[in-house]
Amino acid sequence: MDAKNMFDPVEGPYAGPNTRIGIATVIVWHNADHYGQMTLYLRENNTVPPASRTNPPELHDSY
């Protein structure tokens, strides 16, 4: 996706008729929604999510 084609129409089973940038937005929103659900689940079970800890884990490539 680039500035020239981000508004091109895309057909697919998710989010109905949309644009490339629209699908990318839905993907980001969907992942953020699941992350929010996981953090609530962890907090309800008296666990602080790793990213919210005093010393959060370092982010690095694990590949």
Distance CA 23, CA 10 (A): 8
The residues, any chain, with a CB within 8 Å of residue 15's CB and separated by 6 or more, are 22, 23, 26
Which sign does the torsion angle of CA 15, 7, 31, 62 carry? positive
Residue 63 within any structural domain of the chain: no
pLDDT at 17: 87
Distance CA 59, CA 31 (A): 18
Residue 60 within any structural domain of the chain: no
Give the domain range for residue 24: 9-45
**Which residue is associated with the tokens 């919210």?**
52
Residue 17 within any structural domain of the chain: yes
How many folded domains does the chain comprise? 1
Q: Is the pTM of this model over 0.95?
A: no
Residues in the chain where the model's pLDDT stays below 70: 56, 61-63
